[in-house]
Structure 1
Amino acid sequence: MAVSMKEVDPVFQAAGQKDGLEIWRIEKLQVVPVPKESHGKFFTGDSYVILKTTALKNGSFRHDIHYWLGKNTSQDEAGTAAIKTVELDAALGGRAVQYREVQGNETEKFLSYFKPCIIPEEGGVASGFRHTEVNEREHQTRLFVCRGKHTVHVKEVPFARSSLNHDDIFILDTKSKIFQFNGSNSSIQERAKALEVVQYLKDTNHDGKCEVAAVEDGKLMADADAGEFWALFGGFAPLPRKPFSELNGKDSASTSKLLCVNKGQTAPIDSEILTRELLDSTKCYLLDCGSEIYAWMGRETTLEERKRAGSAAEELLREGNRSRSHIIRLMEGFETVIFRSKFDKWPKKADAVVSDESRGKVAALLKRQGFNFKSPAKAAPVKQEPQPQIDCTGNLQVWRVNGSEKTFLSFSEQCKFYSGDCYIFQYTYPGENGDECLIGTWFGKKSVQEERSAATSLADKMIESLKFQAVLVRVYEGKEPIEFFPIFQNLVIYKGGTSTGYKKFISEKGIEDDTYSESGVALFRVQGSGPENMQAIQVDTAASSLNSSYCYILHDGDTVFTWIGNLSSSMDQELAERQLDVIKPNLQSRLLKEGSEYDQFWKLLGVKSEYSSQKIVRDQESDPHLFACTFSKGVLKVREIFNFTQDDLMTEDIFILDCRSCVFVWVGQRVDTKIRAQALNIGEKFLELDILMENVSRETPLYVITEGSEPQYFTRFFTWDFAKSAMHGNSFERRLSIVKDGVKPRADKPKRRPTTSAHTGRSSVPDKSQRSRSMSFSPDRVRVRGRRASCIPI
């Protein structure tokens, strides 16, 4: 990195070392920290620098830097904020994304830090306005326009009838009452989000003590609240049928233009197709996309060159009279998904190396200048093996798919799967808010498409029979989610298949049937985290299938070996003993430690060859991303919701929560029935889109969750209140009952009914005496599995 650190402001010396927000205001062209109690309060005459530090699951920090420009800020202050943003990025090691925010046209990411909204106050340090606190002044009647289905943009407009229109939501804040005027063309979701702003004004300006009224566009004087509202405007009169589009207008460009920055001057790059190869690490570039301009800075550029690139982007906006466009500055190696999507076949993003070296240069420089610079902090370590968030004392039923039908498996057979088959399972268990049900499909690696489709259809019918009060999950062999294995506890996966579909397929293709035989030669890899979560996976009978990190069971009829890898643990060895009682009960096994094998062992495996010592890596859970979805005519469109909460889940919509290791499709109760039926298809489309450009597997576990049936392994990503999903009405009606009347969500949600097995006709919920309060593993579990007692009925 060729950055000179001489001009890095020492005020940034300890920035970005812990999760949260840090804000500075430009005062007399100097950077001054804003106290935490004033975060979210902005003045129209000032410029600010905002740093959002996020602790990631991988133990590192992500930094997003924004500089916010009030409508009355001076050019000098705005320029200083832009330059200081580059310096802050350098102090953080040159890995932050930097955003230019203009009052009234902020990015949704920026607004998400200050939910539900920001409402700038008049005033500023250099503008001559006086900062007036709310409690110092008489209450003034103010009119605000609100836009946004997921993130609210709020702007104060003149208190006049001419400000109103049919398309938007307006909030009139008077001394004793707050009115929300809902334009006839506004959506339910927009109205609900605007009520969050009403609640904010009620708490901030009225200490939570004032009346709230909702006024519907088109209601006449017969409605008391409507009459009072229109009286404040001099009486009712129809509004003109034209949109008020000041906030909606955004520049757009049909194509993106790439420009190279050289000594502050820009020159276009002549290329029909944008590729990563066009970007040189020793240069800076501008990518002009109309409503956004991206400033890309190569790792080998100097700090001065990066500042010039930022100034060139500002100049580009001034020349085109595009003051409302965003400028987003990125460092090579830390490009955003949206930026990368502008290029053709951007290379797979490798994990970026955190540039502690550059921060070290800053530290050394500042120490020489007499400043005390602390070493960069790291996020708290994250557990690599998360515990399954599901009770393991419930009742499990399993069916194997044969052609287009399903065959119920006895308790002794439900923990034995074949790679050529498909299975349906129903698991009912005590949850946090009543009995919960999980219905899933498991597709073996060699199962046929016809039976996969049949399994999906049969599982859908089971969900429908339960009136969608169950969670649906689609699972592929080798991609099982963390909640899957504890349900089965001691699962064995054999080669081959027993279904009619598999037998027909190998017969037609002339493929040799490799279905497991107890009398033949077979090798099993044993894995798991404990007696309640262990698996034996049949692998190819070859030395290359071995791995020093695992234990294996090898048998040839009644001849049995247990092979202990040098890197395996005592728990791994115990699990191998337990699984031996499932695969070959009542037989004595010969214990072999890696490196001391018998010749007979290698003879059974064919030829002795090299094998791995690295543990098999499964997809790790990443930081979750929430997306709002629209699905029409087979086309899926998504929009990310930043810094999401439970309140972002609207009952009229579908949302996707992407954790990389699994994907949840959440379906609101008021989603159209036809769209609801497409939920699994929507999840599959989402995986195809690969929104985050992570080369996500199409076989990633997919959950479909209906509002009101959320399991703990979903709600753990939120601060969850089960009573909220029990409320009646649409999103607006629910929120209005809370804001207007102070009604809290009902906390006495009735317990879910025990589901009844379609096969046995009996309740599939264990008796209360059999339940455990544990949501993961319980020492008092009923469904015991272990040596010489592998399948004990409930």
Structure 2
Amino acid sequence: MSIFDKDIDSAFQGAGVKPGLEIWCIENLQLVPVPKSSHGKFYSGSAYIVLNTVLLKTGTPQHDVHYWLGNDAKEVDSALASDKALELDAALGSHAVQYREVQGLETEKFLSYFKPCIIPIEGIFSSGTGHLNGETYQVSLLTCKGDHAVYVKEVPFSRSSLNHNDVFILDTASKIFLFCGCNSSIQERAKALEVVQYIQENKHCGNCEVATIEDGKLVADPDAGEFWGFFGGYAPIPRDSPSAVQKQPDNSSVKLFWINSQGKLCQSGTDSLNKEMLNTNKCYMLDCDTEIFVWMGRNTSITERKTSITATEDFLKSQGRSTGIHLTCLTDGSETALFRSYFYNWPQIMEAKLYEEGREKVAAIFKQQGFDVKELPEEDCQPFIDCSGTLKVWRVNGDELLLLPVLEMTKLFSGDCYIVQYTYPGNGRDENLFYAWLGCGSVMEDRVDAISHMNTLVGSTKGHPVLAQVVDGKEPLQFFMILKTLIIFKGGNSKRYKKIIEEKGVADETYDEKKTALFRVQGTSPNNMQAIQVDQVSSSLNSSYCYILQTGTSIFTWIGNLSLTRAHDLLDRMLDVINPTWQPVSVREGSEPDVFWNALGG
């Protein structure tokens, strides 16, 4: 940022140039930068501005602005944080999306910046000390919720705070207790273990015992006795009453309001909305019940934008809806996919690149339908953990676990289930991540055994491993980046899968290199590429991908007209992985020989 408007705070000078987080706190009605050593520490009596910058491959920075409001923050500080978030967006060229983050109700995007979690601290941030002073260690009870992002909240230190559905952490001076409700999920327990480790290392300098308390399993367990001693002795936790279950709000009603220069809301549309309703000289509020958006026209001033956000927050307070609603502020041209989804026929516009051979025909078809078709820009995908560790993979075969040899570890069958153990260097010691991969065609008994086998392996592992269940076809990016090169074949090898095929009297489609097979090649780099066997029919082909067709006598590589150049490189690399002796015939979409179509049934 080289040019600053007079309305933009000088504290934002140089912001957004380097990738990563930058955080400011409101202190005495002034913006104060928060040092990196204090990132992730949020005081409940303060309000913060958080900027996350990502540099894309094109060199263009992408910004997200969040303003975090502590539950005990002064109203004047909260209002100032909202204004400063707008100023920061203006300083960055009015392309950032701004999110209001309320303590305990943060968005997953915000929580993803702070691993493994944030634990709000009572008190007010002070740039002089940066921490709270206290002579005695305060015992605290925390609840952990969420399978992906972890919501950590301090609850009253009382037996009545415990329940069967959640995971709790009791943090004492000499020991940390992890209490797992009997109805809590494996993912929540695994995430809570990460939080325990975080507390142990950051609040106890690693010098603290950790004990796990299983809900209902108390016989002759000294740790359980010590845990319940903090609550005056053991007593059963009552079951949740039906009234405790909250009804989901009705999200069907969507209303659009125009906000005038005096901050008055005037309804201008409902439900059936289109982009033409948005005037680039005005600001609007889109009320989606549980989500609120403020859309700010490109030609509006910072003062008008501040007025629109203040008017929206006042509107929510007047209806008693301020708490628990996510408020997102958008500038004309930087709308999120969720916002666009509420408008009928929002124009489909993507970043421009020149088309390669054969793309003009496809583009012409889309243009006839009213779309401005251009290629989507590539984005960097950064792994969350070190991906240079060691890998072990077992195949589930009933009661047996079969360890796969190194050359077979990245070749999975969709009719089988597998356990993946990934060991990588952490902070001073090795960390373990376990996946139970469940093939889309696997037998239910094998899936149940896979979870059981994974729990057994975890029990024999030191430290605090993370567990995850992955379904074939819905793998997270991290899974692909760990395995690097993955091939998923049709069919299966487990005895239960073979038995089911035999009982049903259907043909076994398990991969055989002597038969016809079609593979879709996908991925982002040589360290993240996959070949997925799909049905060998013409309808499996997609212009955005490249494919390998194996007919038994010939090998074809098929290049879709909308596929990226990097996909062509991955296609060649994947050929070498599947079978380095193959000599393929390369065909482009639209120039296929008859033998190619005959192999796919016409």
Task: Please say whether Structure 1 and Structure 2 have the same fold, judged by a TM-score greater than 0.5.
Answer: yes
For 2:259, the aligned partner's letter is V
Residue from 643, 651, 662 that aligns with 2:469: 651
2:192 is aligned to 194
2:236 is aligned to 238
Distance in 1 (alpha carbons) for counterparts of 2:269 and 2:378: 46
**Unaligned regions of 5+ residues in structure 1, if any?**
354-378, 383-388, 390-432, 440-461, 471-627, 632-646, 668-672, 678-698, 705-709, 716-758, 760-774, 787-794
Percent identity of paired positions between Structure 1 and Structure 2? 46
1:218-276 CA-partner distances (Å, limit 9, x unpaired): 12343332222112211111112126999989865431111111111111113440111
Q: 1:714 to 1:12 in 2, by over 3 A?
A: same
Query: Is the contact made by 1:51 and 1:66 (CA closer than 8 Å) also made in structure 2?
Result: yes
Distance in 2 (alpha carbons) for counterparts of 1:169 and 1:244: 20
1:224 is aligned to 222
Q: Displacement, 1:54?
A: 0.9
Q: Displacement, 1:58?
A: 3.1
Within 5 Å, which residues of 2 pair with 1:90-169?
A: 90-124=90-124, 132-133=131-132, 137-169=135-167
Q: Displacement, 1:152?
A: 0.7
Within 5 Å, which residues of 2 pair with 1:289-308?
A: 289-308=288-307
Q: Displacement, 1:160?
A: 0.9
Q: Displacement, 1:350?
A: 2.5
Distance in 2 (alpha carbons) for counterparts of 1:224 and 1:120: 31
Q: TM-score, normalised by structure 1?
A: 0.47
In terms of mean alpha carbon deviation, does 265-274 or 332-341 score higher? 265-274
For 1:95, the aligned partner's letter is H
1:709-768 CA-partner distances (Å, limit 9, x unpaired): x994259xxxxxxxxxxxxxxxxxxxxxxxxxxxxxxxxxxxxxxxxxxx9xxxxxxxxx
Q: 1:43 to 1:307 in 2, by over 3 A?
A: same
1:282 is aligned to 281
Query: Is the contact made by 2:38 and 2:130 (CA closer than 8 Å) also made in structure 1?
Result: no
Q: Displacement, 1:129?
A: 13
Higher Cα Rg, which structure: 1
**Unaligned regions of 5+ residues in structure 2, if any?**
354-376, 381-386, 388-404, 421-436, 441-464, 489-495, 501-517, 531-551, 553-572, 585-602
Q: 1:247 to 1:21 in 2, by over 3 A?
A: farther
Asked if residue 463 in structure 1 is aligned to residue 427 in structure 2, the reply is no
For 1:21, the aligned partner's letter is L
Q: Displacement, 1:649?
A: 7.3
For 2:95, the aligned partner's letter is R
Q: Secondary structure at the match of 1:328?
A: strand
Query: Is the contact made by 1:16 and 1:92 (CA closer than 8 Å) also made in structure 2?
Result: yes
Query: Is the contact made by 1:257 and 1:288 (CA closer than 8 Å) also made in structure 2?
Result: yes
Q: Displacement, 1:195?
A: 0.9
1:434 is aligned to 406
Q: 1:651 to 1:466 in 2, by over 3 A?
A: closer
Query: Is the contact made by 2:48 and 2:81 (CA closer than 8 Å) also made in structure 1?
Result: yes
2:24 is aligned to 24
Q: Secondary structure at the match of 1:62?
A: strand
Q: Secondary structure at the match of 1:651?
A: strand
Q: TM-score, normalised by structure 2?
A: 0.61
Asked if residue 344 in structure 1 is aligned to residue 344 in structure 2, the reply is yes
Q: Displacement, 1:287?
A: 0.7
1:321 is aligned to 320
Query: Is the contact made by 2:284 and 2:294 (CA closer than 8 Å) also made in structure 1?
Result: yes
Distance in 2 (alpha carbons) for counterparts of 1:131 and 1:271: 47
1:322-380 CA-partner distances (Å, limit 9, x unpaired): 23212100111111111111222222132399xxxxxxxxxxxxxxxxxxxxxxxxx99
Superposed CA RMSD: 4.6
Distance in 1 (alpha carbons) for counterparts of 2:245 and 2:10: 38
1:15 is aligned to 15
Q: 1:296 to 1:666 in 2, by over 3 A?
A: farther
Higher relative contact order (CA 8 A, sep 6+): 1
1:713 is aligned to 528
1:383-425 CA-partner distances (Å, limit 9, x unpaired): xxxxxx9xxxxxxxxxxxxxxxxxxxxxxxxxxxxxxxxxxxx
Distance in 2 (alpha carbons) for counterparts of 1:269 and 1:167: 43
Within 5 Å, which residues of 2 pair with 1:394-793?
A: 434-436=406-408, 463=413, 650-651=468-469, 655-657=474-476, 701=520, 712-714=527-529
Q: 1:24 to 1:188 in 2, by over 3 A?
A: same
Distance in 2 (alpha carbons) for counterparts of 1:438 and 1:177: 41
Distance in 1 (alpha carbons) for counterparts of 2:66 and 2:232: 42
1:445-478 CA-partner distances (Å, limit 9, x unpaired): xxxxxxxxxxxxxxxxx936887799xxxxxxxx
Q: 1:380 to 1:284 in 2, by over 3 A?
A: closer
Distance in 2 (alpha carbons) for counterparts of 1:246 and 1:133: 36
Distance in 1 (alpha carbons) for counterparts of 2:144 and 2:243: 12
Query: Is the contact made by 1:334 and 1:352 (CA closer than 8 Å) also made in structure 2?
Result: no
Distance in 1 (alpha carbons) for counterparts of 2:225 and 2:410: 51
1:330 is aligned to 330
Query: Is the contact made by 1:274 and 1:342 (CA closer than 8 Å) also made in structure 2?
Result: yes
Q: Displacement, 1:703?
A: 6.2
Query: Is the contact made by 1:48 and 1:81 (CA closer than 8 Å) also made in structure 2?
Result: yes
For 2:8, the aligned partner's letter is V
Q: Secondary structure at the match of 1:48?
A: strand
Q: Secondary structure at the match of 1:435?
A: helix
Distance in 2 (alpha carbons) for counterparts of 1:327 and 1:217: 37
